[in-house]
């Protein structure tokens, strides 16, 4: 199983565990993120259900091990953890729309070997 197959299965499993709780818009925003990551050659994330009907996303990779996203119907909460605290900000997002440059800069760098 590839890393992208694993990530898709994690996403589908979240929805399957709580099918009536996830709004279609929340699922669409998560699909937008996955499409962006895969299209731009970025690494596949880990995905698990949030406390609210949201998706939690992170990576076990150097440089982004302190990054976590929480995906909702209208926004993505972006968390960067440090030794004592964390920074958080919201990326407003409507399904199908572009992401901000600030959001793109937070994500793991593309793997140039995947883009060739």
CB 70 within 8 A of CB 55: yes
Local confidence pLDDT in tens for the 116 residues of the chain:
999 999 999 999 999 999 999 999 999 999 999 999 999 999 999 999 998 899 999 999 888 989 999 999 999 999 999 888 889 999 999 999 999 999 999 999 987 555 44
- Domain limits, the chain: 3-109
> What pLDDT score does 116 carry?
41
pLDDT of residue 111: 73
Query: Six-digit token pair at 112?
Result: 């140039």
pLDDT at residue 83, rounded to an integer: 80
User: Would you say 106 and 80 are in contact if contact means Cβ atoms under 8 Å apart?
Assistant: yes
Per-residue CA distances from 44 to 34, 75, 79 (Å): 8, 20, 18
């Amino acid at each position: 199983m590839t890393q992208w197959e694993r990530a898709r299965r994690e996403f589908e499993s979240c929805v399957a565990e709580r099918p009536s709780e996830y709004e279609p818009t929340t699922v669409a925003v998560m699909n937008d993120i996955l499409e962006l990551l895969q299209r731009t050659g970025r690494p596949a994330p880990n995905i698990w259900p949030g406390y609210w009907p949201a998706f939690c996303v992170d990576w076990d990779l150097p440089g982004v091990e302190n990054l976590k996203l929480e995906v909702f119907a209208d926004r993505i909460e972006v968390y960067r953890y440090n030794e004592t605290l964390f920074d958080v900000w919201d990326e407003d997002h409507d399904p199908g729309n572009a992401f901000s440059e600030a959001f793109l800069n937070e994500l793991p760098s593309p793997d140039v070997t995947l883009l060739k």
